[in-house]
């Protein structure tokens, strides 16, 4: 393939120049907008939304301090991160985007969720409102139906805060993790900045799927100092995204991360919008916005959406606002804020200032506004009492929503790739029908990308170069840069964007070159991809694969040779696969790509040049969660996976010379683990050796050993044994590294010791 982008030496004398970042450009009032861009009904709706949000959060205070007791003995538990004072950002932004657009939110996101779904409901037809309510339209008027739907929405929001079954996430997420996928709310996030990668990835999906949607990704000012923020900005600005990325990064800048203030303390910039200058020549179309003025926010987001709609995104908006309360209700805020400062911000209150404009424009009188204030309070009181008396989740269903059993099997021709740049490479089998392990990976990727055009592939150096181990060579030539592309060295962004893209309809396969590097992305792996489905009540679907490798034996030392598979098994919601053969790697990778759950797919570098017979054709898959008995035996079971399977096979040959019959079980997938096949083998042999390349302490075989003693303790004739690496980082020196990695001889010695232990005990 001809190189597309030449990097040539250019040493021209000069200076770098930067454009201007506008701030506080909006100078109109409501009276200027009426009859132009807004109707009186629009204005009233903005006010009503802000009143609902404030009433909602004032109710949380009342529940927390006991001034409102819906029932005798009621006690509020859970998070209390309030956004009183910030209502203009929530309402202005949601009023500006389209009902079908997507959003991500923050742990201080009640207002975002209330406004997003309410505005979406306002745009729905009666039959859609009926579906949302789960009730027939009946004889209700359109206004009555809409009011009932918004009440139901508020009730479900309160219910989630209270951990109720009727909550948006069935009580699994609580106030910091509300999501409503029905109306495009991809979820609030308790990790500061945690959803920035998700927002960028969802926007990438909107572009590649051609949906016309824009993603509004809201994060606080504190998140702007987090690594995932910078990685996500950079990812969204990548030049290879020729259509731009349709995402609006909105910084809800309430001045304090928790207690640390952005200006004058934890940064050295006066406006966070300056950060946009670092990512593309357009400076992300950055702008500073008055976040206390609902019309200013509405205007800025409206223009930002248009920028994204014409393929000029992303956009960065720095909306200056203020939270009147502390970080949470346990934070009295007096240690780091002055009364004078608070009073100054309260004088610019977003609701009071907009009320004045509504009266000034003749839209409503003060008396009418007061009626709306009381209606908002009454609606919130009513739905709160309903939520308090609703059912708690059933503890018997605690695991519901963790995994989905759906896959992309049976999609037919709907998503098939119909155009490629060139025909895919056919890997020639040898005389025995064998191909290399790495070619089997490539073949699996090719077949799945042909079968389903929603499958995309990206990571570090996987495009022109074909990856560090030449596994993805040729895929760029076939599918082009729209579906196969390099990512920056930004592991958190790679995984986070894959999660967002999966939520928004793609089926991404992202690659991390070495599993050592997954530690750079563990928030996105463990707190985002793993938890999203369960945390959001089983509504999120994340069909994504994280491909990575483990190694050893090449002298790469402690940061390129670790076996960290046990780390990722610690996060419920992830499936973990470690194939040991070319036959398995193709069938399991194809199954992983079709699975609707996030899968961590771990390949071993030392296996890439191993050959085996591998079936051709895209009908071939292997089910996840089914172990393989590699060798039948009668005296001892060796459980091994990945590169330790050939080690176990060589050890079994050595043991056979001593007359010991070894059975080898390869789990193939660690999560889900096929305990039944392992236990069946142990009951047959009565003895167990478990082999892995990870350090002994905390290795996954320790979990397998527990499952064996739990289900087959009575069948054991001798204590179980684990052959693992030493409890040291992988050393570089060859003698040390060879000692570190389990060898056939070491495993064979342990087999002999376990098999002879019964005789010794009897003697």
Give the residue numbers annotated as catalytic, written as ranges: 560
How far is it, in rounded angstroms, from Cα 209 to Cα 686?
54
How far is it, in rounded angstroms, from Cα 273 to Cα 258?
20
How far is it, in rounded angstroms, from Cα 40 to Cα 335?
43
Rg (CA), the chain: 29
Q: CB of 583 within 8 A of CB of 637?
A: no
Give 30-38's long-range contacts (Cβ < 8 A, gap of 24+).
Answer: 30/295, 30/354, 30/357, 30/358, 30/360, 30/361, 30/363, 31/357, 31/360, 31/361, 33/295, 34/361, 34/363
Neighbours of 193 (CB within 10 A): 24
Q: What are phi and psi of 666, to 5 degrees?
A: -110, 110
How far is it, in rounded angstroms, from Cα 164 to Cα 155?
10
Give, in order, the Cα–Cα distances in Å from 567 to each of 84, 171, 316, 574, 746: 40, 27, 35, 11, 25
Residues 6 or more apart whose CB falls under 8 angstroms from that of 284 comprise: 233, 237, 249, 276, 314, 315, 316
Q: CB of 641 within 8 A of CB of 651?
A: no
Residue 721, H or E segment: strand 721-725
Structure tokens at 113: 């969720």
Structure tokens at 624: 């996840």
Q: CB of 183 within 8 A of CB of 121?
A: yes
């Amino acid at each position: 393939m001809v190189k597309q982008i030449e990097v040539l030496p250019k040493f021209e004398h000069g200076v770098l120049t930067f454009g201007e970042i506008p701030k506080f450009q909006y100078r109109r009032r409501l009276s200027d907008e009426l009859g132009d861009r807004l109707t009186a009904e629009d204005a009233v709706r903005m006010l009503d939304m802000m009143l609902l949000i404030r009433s909602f959060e004032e109710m949380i205070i009342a529940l927390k301090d006991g001034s409102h007791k819906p029932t005798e003995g009621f006690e509020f538990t859970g998070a209390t991160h309030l956004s009183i004072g910030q209502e203009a950002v929530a309402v202005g932004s949601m009023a500006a985007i389209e009902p079908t657009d997507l959003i991500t939110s923050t742990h201080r996101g009640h207002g975002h969720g209330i406004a997003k779904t309410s505005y979406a409901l306002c745009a729905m037809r009666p039959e859609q409102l009926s579906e949302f309510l789960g009730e027939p339209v009946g004889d209700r008027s359109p206004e009555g139906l809409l009011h009932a739907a918004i009440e139901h929405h508020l009730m479900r929001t309160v219910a989630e805060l209270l951990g109720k079954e009727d909550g948006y996430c069935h009580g699994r997420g609580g106030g910091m993790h509300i999501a409503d996928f029905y109306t495009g709310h991809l979820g609030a996030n308790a990790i500061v900045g945690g959803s920035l990668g998700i927002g960028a990835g969802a926007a990438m999906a909107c572009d590649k799927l051609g949906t016309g949607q824009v993603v509004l990704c809201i994060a606080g000012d504190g998140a702007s100092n987090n690594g995932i923020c910078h990685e996500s900005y950079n990812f969204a600005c990548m030049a290879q995204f020729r259509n731009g990325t349709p995402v609006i990064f909105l910084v809800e800048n309430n001045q304090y991360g928790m207690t640390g203030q952005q200006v004058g303390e934890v940064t050295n910039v006066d406006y966070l919008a300056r950060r946009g200058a670092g990512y593309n020549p357009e400076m992300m179309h950055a702008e500073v916005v008055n976040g206390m003025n609902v019309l200013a926010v509405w205007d800025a987001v409206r223009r930002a959406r248009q920028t994204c709609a014409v393929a000029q995104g992303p956009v960065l908006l720095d909306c200056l606002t203020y939270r009147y309360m502390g970080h949470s209700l346990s934070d009295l805020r007096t240690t780091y804020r002055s009364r004078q400062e608070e009073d100054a911000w309260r004088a610019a209150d977003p609701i009071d200032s907009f009320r004045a404009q509504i009266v000034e424009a003749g839209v409503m009188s003060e008396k009418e506004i007061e009626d709306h204030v009381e209606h908002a309070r009454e609606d919130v009181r009513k739905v709160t009492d309903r939520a308090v008396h609703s059912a708690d989740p059933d503890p018997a269903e605690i695991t519901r929503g963790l995994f989905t059993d759906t896959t992309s099997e049976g999609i037919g021709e709907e998503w098939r790739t119909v155009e490629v740049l060139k025909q895919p490479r056919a890997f020639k089998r040898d005389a025995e029908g064998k191909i290399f392990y790495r070619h089997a990976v490539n073949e699996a990727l090719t077949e799945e990308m042909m079968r389903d055009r929603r499958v995309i592939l990206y990571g570090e150096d996987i495009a022109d170069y074909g990856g560090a181990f030449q596994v993805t060579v040729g895929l760029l030539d076939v599918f082009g840069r729209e579906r196969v592309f390099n990512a920056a060295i930004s592991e958190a962004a790679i995984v986070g964007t894959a999660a967002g893209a999966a939520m928004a309809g793609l089926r991404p396969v992202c690659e991390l070159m070495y599993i050592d590097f997954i530690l750079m992305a563990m928030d996105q792996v463990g707190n985002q991809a793993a938890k999203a489905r369960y945390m959001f009540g089983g509504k999120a679907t994340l069909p994504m694969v994280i491909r990575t490798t483990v190694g050893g034996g090449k002298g790469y030392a402690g940061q390129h040779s670790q076996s960290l598979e046990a780390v990722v098994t610690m996060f419920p919601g992830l499936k973990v696969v470690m194939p040991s053969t070319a036959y398995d790697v193709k069938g399991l990778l194809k199954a992983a790509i079709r699975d609707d759950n996030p899968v961590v797919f771990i390949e071993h570098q030392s296996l890439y040049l191993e050959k085996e017979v591998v079936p051709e054709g895209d009908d071939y898959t292997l089910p996840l969660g089914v172990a393989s008995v590699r060798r039948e035996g009668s005296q001892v079971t060796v459980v091994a996976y990945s590169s330790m399977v050939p080690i176990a096979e060589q050890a079994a040959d050595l043991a056979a010379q001593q007359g010991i019959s070894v059975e080898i079980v390869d789990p193939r997938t660690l999560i889900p683990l096929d305990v039944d096949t392992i236990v069946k083998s142990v009951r047959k042999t009565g003895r167990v050796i478990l082999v892995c390349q990870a350090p002994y302490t905390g290795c996954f075989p320790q979990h397998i050993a527990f499952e064996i003693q739990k289900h087959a303790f009575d069948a054991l004739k001798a204590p179980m044994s684990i052959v693992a690496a030493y409890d040291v980082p992988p050393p570089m020196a060859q003698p040390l590294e060879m000692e570190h990695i389990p060898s056939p001889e070491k495993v064979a010695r342990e087999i002999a010791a376990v098999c002879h232990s019964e005789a010794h005990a009897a003697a």
